[in-house]
């Protein structure tokens, strides 16, 4: 009962913060953990990302949605150091992250997961978890020669890994190769591994993509649990039921830019959002079910595109 109360308190606190905010792109937040200004990423003649200003509120769960090709994953890649923006700047906890490599971004407390899981198949689940820890003393060649120097830290890392595996119900799989896990279990592993660095901001790229329905509720619970533990969550998602269920605030991208922001209960009825998903020349507003069907089509097209890329 206490855990439910805590979750409700955290959610209530997050919703209270957003209650009177304007529903405009780039609206200032009371306590932003991440602030982005004028980030542009071009590929040849195509502008994939052109975000003027956006702020992510600390302690909240924010969804980043948009039609296929809106630039959401590319935007994630810029912010987390997996790709380099052509211009622009962003700060995490007031510290500039522009041009900072991915491993240093993670070390600062800002971690991400991927649409396609990055578990190392030929390592065990526990070994994957250990790799998630940062600044391990045993990684230094000279220090590695003196086991007494790093063994204590290694024990701490293993203990934290075991605790997280238990929390994510993967402890029975600790010695299995990561490649033997199901798609949903890999998502759980990737989320658990991201928490090895005790981050403040967790960025999830389509956490539900390819997940067996039996594991969906488990994953949803873990995302909510991140906020309960005081973390901030920013996630990309196409499933609007999930967006409505867990997000406190929604940011909408289209053609690389942020076009709307607002609470999940009203964002899908925003004319700017409808136009972004359906084009501005539709004859009449679509029902919610028709709109979701469009979103699922976009998701399927994106998954097909990813699969095609991975097979090249």
Domains and CATH numbers, the chain: 2-119+200-310 (3.40.50.300), 123-180 (no CATH)
pLDDT at 136: 42
pLDDT per 10-residue tile (average), the chain, 312 residues: 58 84 93 97 91 96 92 92 93 95 89 69 86 54 48 76 91 90 85 89 87 82 90 90 91 94 90 79 51 63 62 61
pLDDT at 6: 55
pLDDT at 281: 41
**What DSSP assignment string belongs to 184-229?**
HHHHHHHHHHHGGG--SEEEEESTTTT--HHHHHHHHHHHHHHHHT
pLDDT at 293: 63
Sequence-ordered list of residues with C-beta below 8 angstroms from that of 264, at least 6 positions apart, any chain = 63, 243, 244, 247, 248, 249, 250
Output the pTM of the full model: 0.78
Rounded Cα–Cα distance for residues 238 and 274 (Å): 14
């Amino acid at each position: 009962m206490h855990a439910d109360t805590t979750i409700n308190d955290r959610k209530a606190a997050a919703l209270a913060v957003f209650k009177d905010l304007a529903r405009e792109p780039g609206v200032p937040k009371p306590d932003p953990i991440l602030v982005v200004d004028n980030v542009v990423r071009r590929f040849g003649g195509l502008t994939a990302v052109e975000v003027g200003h956006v702020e992510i509120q600390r302690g909240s769960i924010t969804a980043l949605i948009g039609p296929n090709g809106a630039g959401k994953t590319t935007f994630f890649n810029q912010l987390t150091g997996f790709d380099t923006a052509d211009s622009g700047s962003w700060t995490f906890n007031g510290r500039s992250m522009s041009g900072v490599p991915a491993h240093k971004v993670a070390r600062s407390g800002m971690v991400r997961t991927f649409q396609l899981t990055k578990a190392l198949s030929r390592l065990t689940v526990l070994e994957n978890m250990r790799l998630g820890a940062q600044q391990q003393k045993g990684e230094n060649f000279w220090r590695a020669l003196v086991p007494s120097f790093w063994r204590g830290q290694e024990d701490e890392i293993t203990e934290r890994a075991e605790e997280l595996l238990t929390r994510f119900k993967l402890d029975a799989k600790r010695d299995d190769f990561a490649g033997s896990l199901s798609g949903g279990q890999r998502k759980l592993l990737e989320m658990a591994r991201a928490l090895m660095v005790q981050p403040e901001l967790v960025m999830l790229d389509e956490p539900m993509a390819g997940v067996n329905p039996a594991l969906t509720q488990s994953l949803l619970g873990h995302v909510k649990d991140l906020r309960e533990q005081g973390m901030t969550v920013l996630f990309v998602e196409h499933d609007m039921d999930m967006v409505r269920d867990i997000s406190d605030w929604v940011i909408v991208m289209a053609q690389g830019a942020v076009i709307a922001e607002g609470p999940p209960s009203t964002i899908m009825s925003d004319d700017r959002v409808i136009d972004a998903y359906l084009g501005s020349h539709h004859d009449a507003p679509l029902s919610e079910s028709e709109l979701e069907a469009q979103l699922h089509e976009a998701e399927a097209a994106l998954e097909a595109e990813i699969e095609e890329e991975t097979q090249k």
